[in-house]
Amino acid sequence: MIKKNYLLLLLIVTLGCAQWSCKYKTTAEHAANTDSIPGKKWWKEAIVYQIYPRSFKDSDGDGIGDLKGIISKLDYIKSLGINTVWINPIYSSPNDDNGYDVSDYRNIMKDFGTMADFDSLLKGMHERGIKLVMDLVVNHSSDEHEWFKQSRSSRTNPYRNYYHWWNAEKGKPSYRFSLFDINHDAWMYDSTTNAYYLHYFSRKQPDLNWENPKVRSEVYDIMKFWADKGIDGFRLDAFQFAAKDTTFPAFPKGFEKHFSLYYAMQGNLHKYLQEMNKEVLSKYNVMSVAEGAGNSFEDAHDLVDSNRHELNMAYAFDGVDIAKPGGYSLLKLKEVFARWDSAFASNGWLSIFLANHDQARLVSRFGNDSPEFRAPSAKMLATFIMTMRGTPYYYNGDELGMTNAGFTKIEDYRDMPTLNEYRHLESTGGDIPKFLKEKQFTDRDNARTPFQWDSTANAGFTTGIPWIEVNKNYKTINEAAEENNPNSVLNYFRKIVKLRKENPLLVYGKYTLLDKDNDDVYAYTRELDGKKFLILLNFKSKPAAFNTGIDISKAKLLLDNYSKPSDGNTLQPYEAAVWEL
Ligand code: GLC
């Protein structure tokens, strides 16, 4: 019997491997044994691949990516070597903000499919050893959520206090800044009950009242619903803004320039997180990550200090915010990453990322998307993210080195805040050409264009009309072409992911910054239990010298993004090298 089962298992494994290794080149995996490492956690060893479902793969020709599309690409996802996926919101939503406006937290958005599709997706991921982290959007809901419909219907409705209302007979409430509103006014007047409701984001995203225990317990129930289905984690969207002083005191004039100081980590936020931890997170083997880490190290620490029982990790924006249209300072980037690393060197954990669905493309912002340097700079950036301490997050398409779409007309854009800002400028006589120029580099739609699968129509993303235009460069930059090229960004990405998985020092090891004042080269070591790696990254489009004080003549080169690596003390443009010392 045992023998029979064993043979069956062997057959399944062999067939399974044969099925996807013919399409995707993968290398044998040797996930390192990290059992003896203190503070070891699976989510520290996670390599997170972020999927933007709307733009990943369309299965039914309606021009919108969907769950069945993702299912059809699971073998590709697995072939990257990543072990965790974070998927942007897939719940029912009228899509004012592409799913970040949820109208039913227990159902799947029609555009994306059904709950049965979700169950198959989760099963397919787990079968491949991939964990799934879902977005939890509970600073606000959609105005089309049943709670809000009830809440706005009368002042005495039992759901009234699920949101923040200000009765108009008291006069206008103190100004609150809205990030997405056309007038940036976060109070929206609603004539049904002669009152204003609060929305830090768009008018269709009213803020939930976290001071109401009923709201909190509804959210915990929603979390349990998904955790019981077997998901592996939550990314808490905009959660740092959830707690509010409901007396709504006046803030100083001009506060909106630093709104985070007034909005983030207020009131009882930490108490709510401790409650959430007790009620839900502690009861499941799930990871938790907050978008935003407050305004100070204390804030960040309090969020992720394991003794406080709140969350596992958070991500701050200081790093990602550095890239500007005119370029950025590598010294500043080093300073930010070194600072955050030191803050969590002995307690707590952080996320490492330079791109996501709220940013323009990684290679266009932090690398160089010219034909000459796109591939080396994309590989160099992958080396950076995969060799830092913290949990790396990589946004879909960046593993191919996809670039900014660089739209030139407002008609090409789909993102609601961009369209609102444009309308605002139009009505106030603002400088529209300047705005469009800036958006070419910064707009988040740059990173939301369809995933480029191949060189067929619409990059193989859909047989219909894509909801947003495909990047014009899809004939040359696409997955199929990169699959066939051993030197592609994609195949390099697989190698650097594998290196991270096989070397726990890249996860847990001490980080030491070298050659700190070098404005071209980012150099550092990672070390653990007597093993030490040196990482050398040239962030510039010219050869660059470095001086780490380390003799590499006897070191072993583990990976380099050039086929002819340089030795000595100079790196080629955007060269990345990982040495074992
Ligand atoms: C977060 C999301 C962003 C969304 C906003 C409002 O910042 O990442 O995409 O627009 O929250 O939910």
* Residue of 201, 234, 357, 395 with the most ligand 1 atoms within 8 Å of its CB, for mutation: 201
Nearest CA to ligand 1 atom 7: 238
Report which protein residue has its CA nearest ligand 1's atom 6. 100
The answer to whether the CB of 374 falls within 8 A of the CB of 368 is yes
Q: Is 72 exposed, middle or buried (0-12, 13-18, 19+ CB in 10 A)?
A: middle
Give the pLDDT mean for 178-185: 96
Ligand 1 neighbours, Cβ below 6 Å, are 97, 100, 137, 201, 237-238, 291, 357-358
Closest to 154 in 3D by CA, of 145, 143, 171, 167: 167
Cα 571 to ligand 1 centre (Å): 38
Of the residues 362, 396, 430, which one is the last residue of a structural domain? 396
**pLDDT above 90 coverage of the chain, percent:** 89
Q: Which atom of ligand 1 is nearest to the CA of 140?
A: 12
195 in Cβ contact with 167 (< 8 Å):
yes
> Could you tell me the distance, in angstroms and rounded to a whole number, from the CA of residue 140 to the centre of ligand 1?
10
Both 46 and 103 in one domain: the answer is: yes
Count structural domains, the chain: 3
Whether residue 440 is contained in a domain is answered as: no
Q: What is the 3-state secondary structure (H, E, C) of 154-218?
A: CCCCCCHHHECEEEHHHCCCCCCECCCCCCCECEEEECCCCEEEECCCCCCCCEECCCCHHHHHH
The closest of 32, 45, 36, 89 to 313, measured between CA atoms, is 45
CATH for 545: 2.60.40.1180
Residues 273 and 157 in one domain: no
Question: Where does the pLDDT of residue 567 fall: very low under 50, low under 70, confident under 90, or very high at 90 and above?
Answer: confident
Tell how strand 91-92 and strand 131-136 pair up. unpaired
Residue range 468-512, pLDDT digits in tens: 999 999 999 999 999 999 999 999 999 999 999 999 999 999 999
pLDDT score recorded for residue 24: 65
The residue whose C-alpha atom lies closest to atom 2 belonging to ligand 1 is: 237
Q: What is the DSSP string of 489-525?
A: HHHHHHHHHHHHHH-THHHHSEEEEESTT-SSEEEEE
Comparing CA positions, the residue from 108, 109, 226, 218 lying closest to residue 163 is 218
The answer on 252 and 150 residing in a single domain is no
Pick the catalytic residue: 96, 97, 291, 515? 291
Asked if 237 is an active-site residue, the reply is yes
Cα–Cα distance measured from residue 128 to residue 70, given in angstroms and rounded to the nearest whole number? 14
Task: Note whether 420 and 432 are within 8 A (CB).
Answer: no
Extract the tokens encoding 227: 């955790």
* C-alpha separations of 512 from 329, 450, 496, 516 in Å: 20, 38, 20, 10
341 catalytic? Reply is no
b/e burial code for range 412-426 (CB count within 10 A of at least 16 → b): bbbbbbbebbbeebe
Does residue 20 have a pLDDT over 70? Answer: no
Domain holding 160: CATH number? 3.90.400.10
Q: Which atom of ligand 1 is nearest to the CA of 358?
A: 9
Q: What mean pLDDT comes out for the span 87-108?
A: 98
Q: Which amino acid is at 376?
A: P
Q: 226 and 170 in one domain?
A: no
Do 184 and 253 sit in the same domain of this protein?
A: no
Distance between CA atoms of residues 192 and 188, nearest Å? 12
The answer to whether 521 touches 571, Cβ cutoff 8 Å, is: yes
pLDDT for res 4: 45
Residue 179 has pLDDT above 80, yes or no: yes
Q: Which residue among 111, 143, 207, 237 is the active-site one?
A: 237
The answer to whether the beta carbons of residues 554 and 519 sit under 8 Å apart is no
Whether 313 is in a domain gets the answer yes
**Does any domain span residue 487?**
no
**Which residue, judged by its Cα, is nearest atom 12 of ligand 1?**
100
Pocket probe mutation, ligand 1, options 141, 181, 237, max atoms within 8 Å of Cβ: 237
Domain boundary pick from 396, 427, 453? 396
Other C-beta atoms lying within 10 Å of the C-beta of residue 119:
14
pLDDT in tens, 419-448: 999 999 999 999 999 999 999 999 999 999
Task: Please indicate whether residue 347 or residue 311 has the higher confidence score (pLDDT).
Answer: 311
For residue 393, report the distance from its CA to the centre of ligand 1, in Å. 16
- Averaged over 379-395, what is the pLDDT? 98
Is 412 contained in some domain? no
Which of residues 272 and 344 earns the better pLDDT score? Answer: 272
In a domain, 227, yes or no: yes
Q: Is residue 449 in some structural domain?
A: no
Q: How far is the CA of 156 from the centre of ligand 1 (A)?
A: 31
Length of the chain: 581
Containing structural domain, residue 527? 510-580
User: Do residue 179 and residue 271 come from a single domain?
Assistant: no
Q: Do 258 and 276 belong together in one domain?
A: yes
pLDDT at 23: 59
pLDDT confidence of residue 282: 98
Residues 256 and 203: beta-carbon distance below 8 Å: no
- Same domain for 123 and 173, yes or no, is no
Give the contacts of 312 (CB within 8 A, at least 6 positions apart): 41, 43, 287, 288, 289, 304, 349
* Residue 484 CA to ligand 1 centre (angstroms): 36
Residues 51 and 189 in one domain: no
3-state secondary structure of 434: helix
Predicted confidence band at 464 (pLDDT cuts at 50, 70, 90)? Answer: very high
Note whether 285 and 377 are same-domain residues: yes
How would you list the strands of the sheet with 531-538, edge to edge? 510-514, 521-528, 531-538, 576-580, 556-560
**Distance, CA 9 to ligand 1 centroid (Å)?**
44
CA of residue 539 to ligand 1 center, whole Å: 29
User: Of 342, 361, 396, which residue sits at a domain end?
Assistant: 396
Residue nearest to ligand 1 atom 3, measured at CA = 358
Any domain includes 425: no
User: CB count, 10 Å around CB of 363?
Assistant: 28
The CATH number given to whatever domain includes residue 283 is 3.20.20.80
Residue 417 CA: nearest ligand 1 atom is: 10
Which of 21-25, 94-98, 481-485 has the lowest average pLDDT? 21-25
* 82 domain-assigned: yes
Q: What's the pLDDT score for residue 33?
A: 78
Residues 527-565: pLDDT tens digits? Answer: 999 999 999 999 999 999 999 999 999 999 999 999 999
Question: Which position has the token pair 């030191």?
Answer: 342
The answer to whether residues 136 and 159 belong to one domain is: no
Q: Work out whether strand 233-236 and strand 287-291 pair parallel, antiparallel, or are unpaired.
A: parallel
Q: Are residues 223 and 74 in the same domain?
A: yes
